[in-house]
Amino acid sequence: MKPRIIVCGLGRTGYTIYSLLRQQGATVIGISTEPLAGEQTNVVVGDLRSASTLMKAGIVEAHTLVIASNDDAENLAILVQARILNPQIQVINRLFNTNLGDRLDRTLPQHTTMSVSSLAAPVFMFAAFGNHAIGQLKLYNQTWPIYEEYIDANHPWLGMSLTALWENPHRMLIYYLPHHGKTDLVSGVLQERELQIGDRLILATEPSPKKFQTSAIAKIGKFVTYLRQFQQHFQSSVLVTLFLCLTILIATFTYTTINWEIPIVDALYFSVGMITGAGGQEEVAEKAPAAIKLFTAFMMLIGAGIVGIGYALLNDWVLGTRFRKLLETAPIPQRHHYIVCGLGGIGMETVRQLHAKGYDVVIIESDPKCRFLNTAYALKVPVIISDACLATTLESANIQQAESLFAVTSNDTINLEIALSSKGLVPKLRVIVRNQDPHFAKLFQQVFDLDSVLSPIDLAAPSFAAAALGGRILGNGMTGGSLWVALAALITPSHPFCGQRVEDAAMQADFVPLYLETTYHHVMHSWELLEATLTPGDVLYLTMPASQLDQLWRVKPSSGAVRGNQGNRE
| φ/ψ (deg, to 5) at 62 | -70, 150
User: Is residue 121 a contact partner of residue 456, using CB atoms and an 8 Å limit?
Assistant: no
Contacts of 368 (CB under 8 A, 6+ apart): 385
Residues 223, 277 within the same domain: yes
Convert 7-17 to b/e letters by CB count within 10 Å (16 or more is b).
bbbbbbbbbbb
Of 164, 163, 169, give the one whose Cα is nearest residue 189: 163
What whole-number distance in Å separates Cα of residue 473 and Cα of residue 451?
29
Beginning with the edge strand found earlier in the chain, give each strand of the sheet holding 111-114 in spatial order: 43-45, 27-32, 4-8, 64-67, 90-94, 111-114
Strands 475-479, 482-490: pairing kind: antiparallel
Q: What is the pLDDT of residue 416?
A: 94
Tell me the pTM.
0.68
In total, the chain counts a number of residues equal to 570
How far CA 390 is from CA of 277, 295, 330, 393, 428, in Å, comes to 48, 51, 22, 5, 18
> Does residue 499 sit in the same domain as residue 399?
no
What local confidence, expressed as pLDDT, does residue 568 receive?
Answer: 34
d(CA 437, CA 235): 47
3-state SS record for 25-83:
CCEEEEEECCCECCECCCEEECCCCCHHHHHHCCCCCCCEEEECCCCHHHHHHHHHHHH
The separation between the first and the last C-alpha atoms of the chain, rounded to the nearest angstrom, is 16
Distance CA 158, CA 459 (A): 28
CATH number for the domain spanning 94: value is 3.40.50.720
Structural domain count, the chain: 4
CA torsion sign for 329, 330, 331, 334 is negative
So what's the pLDDT on residue 563? Answer: 36
Integer Cα distance of 389 and 453 in angstroms = 17
**Residue 510 belongs to domain with CATH number:** 3.30.70.1450
pLDDT at 3: 53
Number of neighbours of residue 215 by Cβ within 10 angstroms: 9
**Which residue, 326, 355, 380, sits at the end of a domain?**
326
Residue 278, classified by CB atoms within 10 Å of its CB into exposed (0-12), middle (13-18) or buried (19+), is exposed
Largest CA distance in the chain: 113
Q: Where are the alpha helices (DSSP H) in 129-282?
A: 162-166, 185-190, 216-258, 264-276
Question: Quick one: DSSP state of residue 558?
Answer: -
Last residue of a domain, one of 305, 326, 347: 326
Same domain flag for 433 and 522:
no
Asked if residue 141 is part of any domain, the answer here is no
Question: Running DSSP on this structure, what letter comes out for residue 389?
Answer: T
| C-beta of residue 425 within 8 angstroms of C-beta of residue 391 | yes
Residue 127 lies in a domain: no
Task: Please name the residue ranges forming H helices in 431-480.
Answer: 438-448, 456-470
Q: What pLDDT, on the 0 to 100 scale, is given for residue 241?
A: 77
pLDDT at 562: 36
Question: Residue 342 has what pLDDT?
Answer: 95
Question: Same structural domain for residues 452 and 346?
Answer: yes
Indicate the burial class of 548 (C-beta count within 10 angstroms; 0-12, 13-18, 19 or more): middle
Together in a domain, 419 and 509: no
Look at residue 277 in the predicted model and tell me its pLDDT.
67
- Residues with Cβ < 8 Å from 12, sequence gap 6 or more? 436, 437, 457
Asked whether the beta carbons of 144 and 136 are under 8 A apart, the reply is yes
Could you tell me if 448 and 405 lie in one domain? Answer: yes
Identify whether 47 is part of a domain: yes
- Using CA atoms, how far residue 468 sits from 12, 43, 206, in Å, is 17, 18, 27
pLDDT at site 557: 39
Task: Report if residue 98 sits inside a domain.
Answer: yes
CB 339 within 8 A of CB 404: yes
Residue 37, burial from CB neighbour count under 10 angstroms (0-12, 13-18, 19+): exposed
Are residue 343 and residue 317 in the same domain, yes or no?
no
Domain for residue 190, yes or no? no
Whether residues 391 and 425 share a domain: the answer is yes
Q: What is the pLDDT of residue 560?
A: 38
| Bridge partner list, 174 | none
Whether 372 contacts 348, CB under 8 Å: yes
Would you say 477 and 148 are in contact if contact means Cβ atoms under 8 Å apart?
A: yes
Q: What is the three-class DSSP state of 200?
A: strand
List Cα–Cα distances, 95 to 6, 63, 100, 254, 423, in angstroms.
17, 20, 8, 74, 34
Non-local CB neighbours of 114 within 8 Å, separated by 6+ positions: 92, 93, 94, 95, 101, 460, 463, 464, 467
Dihedral sign (CA 266, 272, 277, 278): negative
Burial of 223 by CB count in 10 Å (0-12 exposed, 13-18 middle, 19+ buried)? exposed
Q: Is residue 169 part of a domain?
A: no
Reference 415, options 456, 382, 460; nearest CA is 456
pLDDT at 79: 96
Establish if 420 belongs to a structural domain: yes
- Is position 76 within any domain? yes
Say whether both 21 and 39 belong to one domain: yes
Is there a single domain that holds both residue 451 and residue 518?
no
Q: What is the dihedral of CA 452, 457, 463, 464, to 10 degrees?
A: 180
User: Which residues span the domain enclosing 514?
Assistant: 470-552
Q: Say whether both 392 and 412 belong to one domain.
A: yes
Cα separations (Å) of 241 from 314, 401, 484, 567?
Answer: 11, 35, 68, 64
547 shares a domain with 485: yes
pLDDT, tens digit only, all 570 positions of the chain:
445 899 999 998 999 999 888 887 788 999 999 998 877 788 999 999 999 999 999 999 999 999 999 899 999 999 999 999 999 999 999 998 888 999 999 999 989 999 999 888 888 888 888 766 666 777 777 778 888 888 999 999 999 999 888 888 788 888 888 888 888 888 888 888 999 999 988 888 887 655 444 455 555 655 565 556 555 556 666 777 787 788 878 877 877 777 666 777 777 777 777 777 666 656 656 666 777 777 777 777 777 777 777 777 666 666 555 555 555 567 788 888 999 999 999 999 999 989 988 889 999 999 999 989 989 988 889 999 999 999 999 999 999 999 999 999 999 999 999 999 999 999 999 999 999 887 788 788 888 888 888 889 888 888 888 788 765 567 766 665 566 778 777 787 877 888 999 999 888 888 889 889 888 778 888 888 999 999 988 888 888 876 676 665 444 333 333 333 333 333
Amino acid identity for residue 384 in this structure? I
Q: Which residue, of 59, 90, 114, is where some domain finishes?
A: 114
Which residues are CB-neighbours of 230 under 8 A, at least 6 positions away? 326
**Spatial CB neighbours of 294, under 8 Å, sequence gap ≥ 6:** none
pLDDT of residue 216: 54
Compute the distance between CA of residue 294 and CA of residue 108 in angstroms, rounded to an integer: 84
